[in-house]
Amino acid sequence: MKKKWFMVIWVVWVLAWLSGCATVETSKKVPYKLSPQGTVIWQDEFEFMPPPPDWKLLIVEEEGDINFGFTRADPGQFPSTTSFAYDEEPFGSSTKLEEREREFFKRFLFNAILQFQVLEKRKTQVLGGEGLEVVAEGKDLVKGEKVRAKVVFGKRGERIVGFYITQWRPINGTYELSAFEIFDKFVHSFKFLKKSFYETL
Amino acid sequence: MEGHQRNLDLYDRFNARVLGVSRDDVTTLKYWAKSLDLTFPLLSNITAFLGAYFDIQPEGQPIFGRRTVIIDKKGVIRYVRDGSPDFKDILLFLKKLNQEGGKP
Protein backbone atom coordinates (compact mmCIF):
# COMPACT_ATOMS: atom_id res chain seq x y z
CA MET A 1 0.00 0.00 0.00
CA LYS A 2 2.83 2.31 1.01
CA LYS A 3 4.58 1.56 -2.27
CA LYS A 4 1.38 2.36 -4.23
CA TRP A 5 1.05 5.76 -2.50
CA PHE A 6 4.67 6.48 -3.24
CA MET A 7 4.06 5.69 -6.94
CA VAL A 8 1.01 7.99 -7.03
CA ILE A 9 2.94 10.85 -5.42
CA TRP A 10 5.83 10.31 -7.81
CA VAL A 11 3.55 10.38 -10.87
CA VAL A 12 1.78 13.52 -9.60
CA TRP A 13 5.15 15.21 -9.00
CA VAL A 14 6.39 14.33 -12.49
CA LEU A 15 3.16 15.59 -14.08
CA ALA A 16 3.36 18.82 -12.07
CA TRP A 17 6.99 19.29 -13.12
CA LEU A 18 6.19 18.64 -16.78
CA SER A 19 3.21 20.99 -16.76
CA GLY A 20 5.44 23.62 -15.18
CA CYS A 21 7.94 23.20 -18.02
CA ALA A 22 5.14 23.43 -20.57
CA THR A 23 3.90 26.66 -18.98
CA VAL A 24 7.35 28.19 -19.15
CA GLU A 25 7.78 27.12 -22.74
CA THR A 26 4.44 28.45 -23.98
CA SER A 27 4.83 31.80 -22.21
CA LYS A 28 8.28 32.37 -23.72
CA LYS A 29 7.84 34.64 -26.73
CA VAL A 30 10.24 34.44 -29.62
CA PRO A 31 10.92 37.80 -31.28
CA TYR A 32 10.48 36.50 -34.83
CA LYS A 33 8.23 34.58 -37.18
CA LEU A 34 8.80 32.84 -40.48
CA SER A 35 7.22 34.10 -43.67
CA PRO A 36 5.85 31.71 -46.34
CA GLN A 37 8.80 32.79 -48.51
CA GLY A 38 11.27 31.37 -45.97
CA THR A 39 12.43 34.73 -44.68
CA VAL A 40 12.45 35.75 -41.02
CA ILE A 41 10.28 38.63 -39.82
CA TRP A 42 12.02 40.01 -36.74
CA GLN A 43 9.79 41.91 -34.29
CA ASP A 44 7.69 43.07 -37.25
CA GLU A 45 10.55 45.46 -38.00
CA PHE A 46 13.13 43.59 -40.09
CA GLU A 47 12.94 40.91 -42.74
CA PHE A 48 15.90 38.80 -43.84
CA MET A 49 17.02 35.47 -45.20
CA PRO A 50 18.22 33.34 -42.26
CA PRO A 51 21.37 31.20 -42.41
CA PRO A 52 21.14 27.36 -42.55
CA PRO A 53 19.91 25.62 -39.36
CA ASP A 54 23.40 24.82 -38.01
CA TRP A 55 23.78 28.51 -37.13
CA LYS A 56 22.57 29.42 -33.63
CA LEU A 57 20.69 32.62 -32.89
CA LEU A 58 22.46 35.29 -30.82
CA ILE A 59 20.60 38.11 -29.09
CA VAL A 60 22.41 40.91 -27.29
CA GLU A 61 20.34 43.49 -25.46
CA GLU A 62 22.23 46.62 -24.56
CA GLU A 63 21.14 50.14 -23.80
CA GLY A 64 17.62 49.52 -25.00
CA ASP A 65 18.57 48.35 -28.48
CA ILE A 66 18.33 44.74 -29.47
CA ASN A 67 21.04 43.54 -31.78
CA PHE A 68 20.93 40.06 -33.11
CA GLY A 69 22.96 37.67 -35.15
CA PHE A 70 24.00 34.10 -35.68
CA THR A 71 26.97 32.00 -34.64
CA ARG A 72 28.47 28.67 -35.60
CA ALA A 73 31.27 26.57 -34.13
CA ASP A 74 33.59 25.58 -36.97
CA PRO A 75 35.63 22.39 -37.17
CA GLY A 76 39.22 22.77 -36.05
CA GLN A 77 41.15 24.05 -33.08
CA PHE A 78 40.11 26.94 -30.83
CA PRO A 79 39.10 29.67 -31.66
CA SER A 80 37.44 28.31 -34.82
CA THR A 81 34.09 30.12 -34.78
CA THR A 82 32.11 32.29 -37.17
CA SER A 83 29.52 34.86 -36.06
CA PHE A 84 27.61 37.57 -37.84
CA ALA A 85 25.22 40.23 -36.66
CA TYR A 86 23.07 43.23 -37.44
CA ASP A 87 23.87 46.28 -35.34
CA GLU A 88 21.48 49.23 -35.10
CA GLU A 89 24.14 51.38 -33.43
CA PRO A 90 27.61 50.39 -34.64
CA PHE A 91 30.61 52.02 -32.90
CA GLY A 92 31.08 55.67 -33.78
CA SER A 93 28.65 58.47 -34.37
CA SER A 94 29.22 59.97 -37.81
CA THR A 95 26.43 59.83 -40.40
CA LYS A 96 29.01 59.72 -43.21
CA LEU A 97 29.99 56.23 -44.30
CA GLU A 98 33.76 56.74 -44.68
CA GLU A 99 34.00 58.66 -41.42
CA ARG A 100 31.96 56.05 -39.56
CA GLU A 101 34.22 53.30 -40.87
CA ARG A 102 37.25 55.11 -39.41
CA GLU A 103 35.48 55.53 -36.04
CA PHE A 104 34.21 51.95 -36.04
CA PHE A 105 37.58 50.30 -36.56
CA LYS A 106 39.05 52.22 -33.63
CA ARG A 107 36.84 50.12 -31.34
CA PHE A 108 35.85 47.01 -33.26
CA LEU A 109 37.11 43.94 -31.34
CA PHE A 110 39.18 46.28 -29.17
CA ASN A 111 39.18 43.76 -26.30
CA ALA A 112 41.07 41.32 -28.51
CA ILE A 113 43.90 43.87 -29.08
CA LEU A 114 44.50 42.89 -32.69
CA GLN A 115 46.52 44.50 -35.43
CA PHE A 116 43.96 45.09 -38.19
CA GLN A 117 44.78 45.37 -41.83
CA VAL A 118 42.14 46.45 -44.33
CA LEU A 119 42.22 43.99 -47.24
CA GLU A 120 39.43 45.45 -49.33
CA LYS A 121 37.17 48.47 -49.21
CA ARG A 122 34.49 49.30 -51.73
CA LYS A 123 31.18 51.07 -52.16
CA THR A 124 28.16 48.81 -52.36
CA GLN A 125 24.39 48.93 -52.60
CA VAL A 126 22.67 47.85 -49.39
CA LEU A 127 19.30 48.55 -47.73
CA GLY A 128 18.16 50.21 -50.91
CA GLY A 129 20.91 52.80 -50.89
CA GLU A 130 24.61 53.44 -50.87
CA GLY A 131 26.75 51.44 -48.46
CA LEU A 132 30.36 50.71 -47.68
CA GLU A 133 31.89 47.25 -47.46
CA VAL A 134 35.20 46.61 -45.70
CA VAL A 135 37.09 43.33 -45.44
CA ALA A 136 39.81 43.29 -42.79
CA GLU A 137 42.07 40.80 -41.09
CA GLY A 138 43.35 41.01 -37.54
CA LYS A 139 46.18 38.98 -36.10
CA ASP A 140 47.38 38.26 -32.59
CA LEU A 141 50.78 36.65 -32.94
CA VAL A 142 51.14 36.24 -29.16
CA LYS A 143 47.98 34.17 -28.76
CA GLY A 144 48.42 32.60 -32.19
CA GLU A 145 44.97 33.66 -33.40
CA LYS A 146 43.61 35.54 -36.37
CA VAL A 147 40.24 36.84 -37.50
CA ARG A 148 38.82 37.73 -40.87
CA ALA A 149 36.05 40.30 -40.68
CA LYS A 150 33.70 41.88 -43.14
CA VAL A 151 31.76 44.96 -42.16
CA VAL A 152 28.96 46.48 -44.24
CA PHE A 153 27.71 49.95 -43.37
CA GLY A 154 24.37 51.14 -44.67
CA LYS A 155 21.82 53.79 -43.85
CA ARG A 156 18.52 53.71 -42.04
CA GLY A 157 17.10 57.18 -42.42
CA GLU A 158 19.86 59.59 -41.48
CA ARG A 159 21.65 57.13 -39.21
CA ILE A 160 24.21 54.49 -40.06
CA VAL A 161 23.61 50.85 -39.23
CA GLY A 162 26.03 47.98 -39.64
CA PHE A 163 26.39 44.31 -40.38
CA TYR A 164 29.52 42.36 -39.52
CA ILE A 165 30.91 38.88 -39.67
CA THR A 166 33.96 37.62 -37.84
CA GLN A 167 35.64 34.31 -38.51
CA TRP A 168 38.24 33.29 -35.92
CA ARG A 169 40.97 30.80 -36.66
CA PRO A 170 44.29 29.63 -35.21
CA ILE A 171 47.06 31.68 -36.82
CA ASN A 172 47.92 28.91 -39.33
CA GLY A 173 44.25 27.97 -39.96
CA THR A 174 42.34 28.38 -43.20
CA TYR A 175 39.30 30.61 -43.55
CA GLU A 176 36.09 29.13 -44.87
CA LEU A 177 34.79 31.73 -47.29
CA SER A 178 31.40 30.05 -47.85
CA ALA A 179 30.33 31.48 -44.46
CA PHE A 180 30.89 34.96 -45.93
CA GLU A 181 28.53 34.10 -48.78
CA ILE A 182 25.84 33.19 -46.22
CA PHE A 183 26.50 36.54 -44.54
CA ASP A 184 26.19 38.35 -47.88
CA LYS A 185 22.81 36.70 -48.50
CA PHE A 186 21.68 37.83 -45.02
CA VAL A 187 22.83 41.41 -45.63
CA HIS A 188 21.46 41.79 -49.13
CA SER A 189 18.11 40.25 -48.19
CA PHE A 190 17.75 42.60 -45.18
CA LYS A 191 14.77 44.98 -45.31
CA PHE A 192 13.19 47.41 -42.89
CA LEU A 193 9.47 46.84 -42.53
CA LYS A 194 8.85 50.09 -40.70
CA LYS A 195 10.54 53.37 -39.87
CA SER A 196 13.00 53.43 -37.00
CA PHE A 197 12.32 55.14 -33.67
CA TYR A 198 14.60 58.00 -34.75
CA GLU A 199 12.79 58.50 -38.05
CA THR A 200 9.44 58.81 -36.29
CA LEU A 201 10.62 61.03 -33.43
CA MET B 1 28.92 58.90 -24.54
CA GLU B 2 28.95 57.80 -28.17
CA GLY B 3 25.18 57.46 -27.91
CA HIS B 4 24.90 61.12 -26.88
CA GLN B 5 27.21 62.08 -29.74
CA ARG B 6 24.96 60.23 -32.20
CA ASN B 7 21.94 62.12 -30.87
CA LEU B 8 23.38 65.66 -30.90
CA ASP B 9 21.27 66.78 -33.85
CA LEU B 10 18.14 65.43 -32.15
CA TYR B 11 19.03 67.18 -28.87
CA ASP B 12 19.48 70.33 -30.91
CA ARG B 13 16.03 69.88 -32.44
CA PHE B 14 14.56 69.74 -28.92
CA ASN B 15 16.62 72.74 -27.73
CA ALA B 16 18.73 70.61 -25.41
CA ARG B 17 22.47 70.64 -24.80
CA VAL B 18 24.47 67.78 -23.35
CA LEU B 19 27.34 68.02 -20.85
CA GLY B 20 29.37 65.18 -19.37
CA VAL B 21 30.77 65.43 -15.85
CA SER B 22 33.55 63.25 -14.53
CA ARG B 23 36.11 63.20 -11.75
CA ASP B 24 38.91 62.65 -14.26
CA ASP B 25 41.37 65.45 -14.87
CA VAL B 26 41.25 67.69 -17.93
CA THR B 27 44.12 65.94 -19.74
CA THR B 28 42.45 62.54 -19.39
CA LEU B 29 39.10 63.91 -20.56
CA LYS B 30 40.69 65.60 -23.58
CA TYR B 31 42.33 62.33 -24.59
CA TRP B 32 39.11 60.41 -24.01
CA ALA B 33 37.00 62.90 -26.01
CA LYS B 34 39.48 62.70 -28.87
CA SER B 35 39.52 58.90 -28.88
CA LEU B 36 35.70 58.76 -29.04
CA ASP B 37 35.35 61.77 -31.39
CA LEU B 38 33.14 63.58 -28.87
CA THR B 39 32.36 67.20 -29.68
CA PHE B 40 30.21 68.17 -26.69
CA PRO B 41 31.75 69.58 -23.48
CA LEU B 42 33.08 67.30 -20.76
CA LEU B 43 33.52 68.90 -17.34
CA SER B 44 36.33 67.83 -15.06
CA ASN B 45 35.28 67.93 -11.41
CA ILE B 46 38.14 66.40 -9.49
CA THR B 47 36.99 67.96 -6.22
CA ALA B 48 33.70 66.06 -6.66
CA PHE B 49 31.32 68.77 -5.40
CA LEU B 50 28.98 68.09 -8.35
CA GLY B 51 28.89 64.43 -7.29
CA ALA B 52 27.75 65.50 -3.84
CA TYR B 53 25.24 67.97 -5.34
CA PHE B 54 23.67 65.33 -7.59
CA ASP B 55 24.08 62.60 -4.97
CA ILE B 56 26.18 60.33 -7.18
CA GLN B 57 29.37 60.20 -5.16
CA PRO B 58 29.75 56.69 -3.73
CA GLU B 59 31.45 56.91 -0.35
CA GLY B 60 35.18 56.21 -0.42
CA GLN B 61 35.37 55.84 -4.21
CA PRO B 62 37.25 58.11 -6.61
CA ILE B 63 34.54 57.99 -9.31
CA PHE B 64 30.98 59.19 -9.79
CA GLY B 65 28.05 56.82 -10.23
CA ARG B 66 26.37 56.84 -13.63
CA ARG B 67 23.35 59.11 -13.69
CA THR B 68 21.45 61.04 -16.37
CA VAL B 69 19.93 64.32 -15.26
CA ILE B 70 17.81 66.67 -17.38
CA ILE B 71 17.54 70.25 -16.12
CA ASP B 72 15.02 72.63 -17.64
CA LYS B 73 15.69 76.27 -18.53
CA LYS B 74 14.53 77.39 -15.10
CA GLY B 75 17.14 75.18 -13.46
CA VAL B 76 14.65 72.60 -12.25
CA ILE B 77 15.73 68.95 -12.36
CA ARG B 78 13.06 67.23 -14.43
CA TYR B 79 14.52 63.78 -15.12
CA VAL B 80 16.87 61.50 -13.19
CA ARG B 81 17.81 57.96 -14.19
CA ASP B 82 20.67 55.79 -12.94
CA GLY B 83 22.81 53.40 -14.93
CA SER B 84 23.43 53.35 -18.66
CA PRO B 85 21.47 56.07 -20.44
CA ASP B 86 18.25 54.96 -22.09
CA PHE B 87 18.59 57.16 -25.16
CA LYS B 88 15.10 56.55 -26.50
CA ASP B 89 13.59 57.44 -23.13
CA ILE B 90 15.75 60.58 -22.94
CA LEU B 91 14.74 61.69 -26.44
CA LEU B 92 11.05 61.11 -25.77
CA PHE B 93 11.32 63.10 -22.55
CA LEU B 94 13.14 65.98 -24.28
CA LYS B 95 10.54 66.01 -27.05
CA LYS B 96 7.77 66.23 -24.47
CA LEU B 97 9.58 68.93 -22.51
CA ASN B 98 10.16 70.93 -25.67
CA GLN B 99 6.49 70.66 -26.63
CA GLU B 100 5.52 71.86 -23.14
CA GLY B 101 7.68 74.91 -23.69
CA GLY B 102 9.87 74.02 -20.73
CA LYS B 103 12.94 73.92 -22.91
CA PRO B 104 15.84 72.20 -21.16
pLDDT digits (tens, 9 = 90+) for B45-88: 999 899 888 888 888 888 898 999 999 989 999 999 999 999 99
Q: Are residues A69 and A165 in the same domain?
A: yes
Q: Which of A93, A95, A102 to mutate to test the interface with B (most CBs of B within 10 A)?
A: A93
- Asked if residue A196 is part of any domain, the answer here is no
ipTM value for the complex: 0.81
Residue among B3, B37, B91 minimizing CB distance to A103? B37
The pLDDT, as a whole number, for residue B1 is: 86
Predicted TM-score (pTM) of the model is 0.81
Q: Are residues A160 and A77 in the same domain?
A: yes
Residue among A64, A92, A159 minimizing CB distance to B2? A92
pLDDT-based confidence at residue B18 (cuts at 50, 70, 90): very high
- Asked if residue A14 is part of any domain, the answer here is yes
Q: Are residues A96 and A13 in the same domain?
A: no
- Each residue's pLDDT tens digit, A110-155: 777 788 899 999 999 999 999 999 999 999 999 999 999 999 999 9
- Each residue's pLDDT tens digit, A56-95: 998 876 654 557 899 999 999 999 999 999 999 999 999 9
pLDDT-based confidence at residue A23 (cuts at 50, 70, 90): very low
The pLDDT, as a whole number, for residue A179 is: 97
State how far residue A63 is from chain B, nearest Cα, in angstroms.
6
The pLDDT, as a whole number, for residue A112 is: 76
One-letter amino acid for residue A33 of the chain: K
Residues of B in contact with A64 (CB under 8 A): 86-89
State how far residue A91 is from chain B, nearest Cα, in angstroms.
8
Higher pLDDT, B97 or A109: B97
Average pLDDT, chain A: 85
Residues of A in contact with B84 (CB under 8 A): 62-63
B86–A64 CB contact, under 8 Å: yes
Q: Which residue of A has its CA nearest to B89?
A: A64
- Asked if residue A7 is part of any domain, the answer here is yes
- Asked if residue A38 is part of any domain, the answer here is no
- Asked if residue A172 is part of any domain, the answer here is yes
CATH code for position A126: 3.40.1000
**What CATH architecture is B2-100?**
3-Layer(aba) Sandwich (3.40)
Q: Are residues A5 and A61 in the same domain?
A: no
Residue A133 lies in domain: 53-189
Structural domain total, chain A: 2
Q: Count Cβ–Cβ pairs < 8 Å, chain A vs chain B.
A: 32
